[in-house]
Amino acid sequence: MLISIISDMHDNLVNLEKFLAWAKANKVEQLFVLGDICAPATLKEILAPGFSGKIHIVYGNVADRENEMKVAQNFSHLIHYGDLAEFEIDRRKIALTHYPNIAKELAQTAKYDFIFYGHSHQPWIEHIGKTIVSNPGTLAGMFYKATFAIWDTATGKLELKILELIK
């Protein structure tokens, strides 16, 4: 299964729409959103209708918490976990958070195969013990180039993509 991971879109609708077109063309089946969507309208009007697969979401530090959760509850394919998500996909234990410090603390427990986080906007992949810890970067392109990650659960391959280089 192909899963894409995005974070820190900060209402950059042009980049979000380009990413969603790429995800559809490349048959991405699920999406992890690691916070900082920003306006609930971005979730309601662009992200939710623009991606038909399951979308797993956690809050960022720039979130309208009450309204973001309400919007998510109106779409059956959106799962909003609040601040931290923990679940399994293809027999792999996953955690999603917005914050690097929480990701690193979780990795120290050795309970997870993959932990994904955002916040710093810096794309990153590292191993902490048996856990792969990754930040897909910023879809908004703030402070760094606009990036996202793609994970193939069948092969285990995780790679970072630069948005301006995708077709």
Domain annotation covers residue 162:
no
Domain annotation covers residue 100:
yes
Domain annotation covers residue 164:
no
How sure is the predictor about 119, in pLDDT bands with cuts at 50, 70 and 90? very high
Count of structural domains, the chain: 1
How sure is the predictor about 150, in pLDDT bands with cuts at 50, 70 and 90? very high
Q: Which range of residues forms the domain containing residue 118?
A: 2-156
For 154, other C-beta atoms within 10 Å of its C-beta total 9
Domain annotation covers residue 41:
yes
Q: Residue 92: is its pLDDT beyond 90?
A: yes
Domain annotation covers residue 166:
no
How far apart are alpha carbons 158 and 73 in whole angstroms? 29
On whether the pTM is more than 0.75, the answer is yes
Strand stretches in the chain, DSSP E:
2-6, 30-33, 54-57, 78-80, 85-89, 92-96, 114-116, 124-128, 131-135, 147-152, 158-162
Q: Phi and psi dihedrals of 79, rounded to 5?
A: -120, 115
What CATH number does the domain containing 132 carry? Answer: 3.60.21.10
